Amino acid sequence: MIYRNKIAYALLLLILPFICCSNKDDIAPSDDKKHDDYKDTVYLENRENLQRVKGNSIQIDPLVLYSLEITPQELVSDLKKANITSVHYIVVNKWDGSKDDQIFKPEFLEALEENNIAIWLMLPGNCMYDQLPEEWEMEFVKPYAEASLRFYSFHNNEYVTWQEERVRRVFENYDFAGIGFAESYFPEWRTLYTNGHYGDVSLTARRKFTREYLDLDRSALSFDAIRNNTEWYYKWQDFRVEAITDFNRRMKNAVRDANPKALFASWGIAVGSEPLAEIREWYGLDMVEIAREVKPDLFFIQTSYQDWGNPALPYDYIKNYEHVRKAIQEANPNVKLAVQADIASLSFHNSGVGVRVPDWWLEFMELSTRLGYYTSTSYEYAFSKKQGLWIE
C-alpha cells in the first residue's frame, strides 16, 4: 500500500498496536466457549456447504443401494427427478471412520459430486447393528425385543470418546459436507407404561447419577427408588438431558476440530403435537437447550414412529410439529431447521400398508419449504426404489 498522506500514515502507526491487540482478543478468546463461538462466527457465514445442502434431500443406506445393482448414473438421474440437492449416507454398524470402498464406493461419490449433490454422513447416536464393548451398552427396564440392535449409553464416557475419535477419523478419509447423529436420545416414548424399553437404567448410569449428580455417598439408587421420589425423578430427567446435550457438544467440537468447513447437525424428534416437556421427560432430549447451548449448524426434527407408523398419515402432518420448530428457532435464530420423514419403512415391512407414493413425499417436501424448513430429508431411497415407489 502506498501512503500519499504522511499524516494519515503517522496516525496509522499510532493506532496499529490497538488494532492488533483487538484482533488478538477476537482470535484467542479467554475460554473454550468463546473459542467455539468465534469459530462459528468465522465459518458459518461463509460456509459453502450450508448453501449446498439447502432444499430437498434423501437418506440412502449404501449397502441396500448396492444390493439393487443401481448404477451411479441411475442414482443421479433418480435424484434429479425429485430435485434432490443432498443425500445422507447412513451407516448403522461399527465402522470406525477408516477409508472403506465397500461402504462408500468411489464411483458413486464421484457421480454425486460431479452433479453437485452434496453428501452428508449420518450415524445413529444411540444404537447400531454391531457389538461394541458390552459395558458401554444401555440397560432397559425390560430387555429390548430386537437382539441384533445394540444400544449404547450417553452416560458412558468411553463410548462418547469412541464416537469423537470416529468423527476425526472420518474427516481424515472423506470430505463430507456435514455429519449428523440421528436418534441421539434415550429410548423410548412412554415405554414405562408399555413394553419397558426405557433406558438407560444400567448400574453405570445409576451409580453416576447417585454419586456424581446427587453427591450421595452410598450404593447406586435403584431405578424404582428414583422413579418413586419426585425430587430425584426431576433431577434424573436433568441428568439425562445433560448427557445428550454434552454428546451433541462433543460431536460438534470433534467435527470443528477435524474439518471446520463441515456442517454439524443435531437431531431431535417430534411426536404429533405432544409438548416439548413430554419429549424432554421420555427421551431426555431438550431441543431448546441444544439449539441455544450447542449451536449446531442445522437441527433436524425426526418423525417419530408414532407418526410414520400411521398408515393414514397425511403429508401435512408436520404442521403438528410447528411448536417444536418455532421453539428451536426462537432459542437460536441462526440455526437452520430441517425435518425428516419416513416414506418407505411401513410399506416395506407390511406389504401394501401405508404406501407413500411420490405425490405424498413431493408434497411433504414442498410443504416443508413453505413452513420455513431449510432442508428436508426422508428415509429412504433404496427401500422406496425397491418397492417401485420412486418418481418416474
- Give pLDDT tens digits for 136-171: 999 999 999 898 999 999 999 999 999 999 999 999
Interatomic CA distance for residues 183 and 269, integer angstroms: 8
- Can you tell me whether residue 160 is helix, strand or coil? helix
Residue 312 burial by Cβ neighbours in a 10 Å radius (0-12, 13-18, 19+): exposed
The cell numbers describing 17, all together, are 498496536
| Residue 267, helix vs strand vs coil | strand
Q: What pLDDT is stored for residue 33 in this prediction?
A: 54
Residue 202: per-residue pLDDT: 98
What's the pLDDT at 14? Answer: 35
What pLDDT score was predicted for residue 275?
98
Dist CA 89 CA 253 (whole Å) = 21
Q: What is the pLDDT of residue 124?
A: 97
> 131, 113 in Cβ contact below 8 A?
no
How high is the pLDDT of residue 37?
56
The class of domain 32-386 in CATH terms is alpha beta
Give CA–CA dist 131/93, Å, rounded: 9
Write down the pLDDT at residue 47: 78
- What's the confidence (pLDDT) of residue 36? 57
CA distance 121 to 104: 10
Nearest to 52 by CA among 101, 113, 96, 102: 113
Return the domain boundaries, the chain. Answer: 32-386
CA distance to 88, 93, 122, 123, 134, per residue, from 59 (Å)? 4, 16, 8, 11, 29
pLDDT (0 to 100) of residue 271: 98
Pairing of strands 178-182, 336-342: unpaired
Q: Which residues of the chain have pLDDT under 50?
A: 1-31, 34-35, 38, 41-42, 45-46
Residues 6+ apart with CB under 8 A from 153: 136, 137, 138, 159, 199, 200, 202, 204, 205
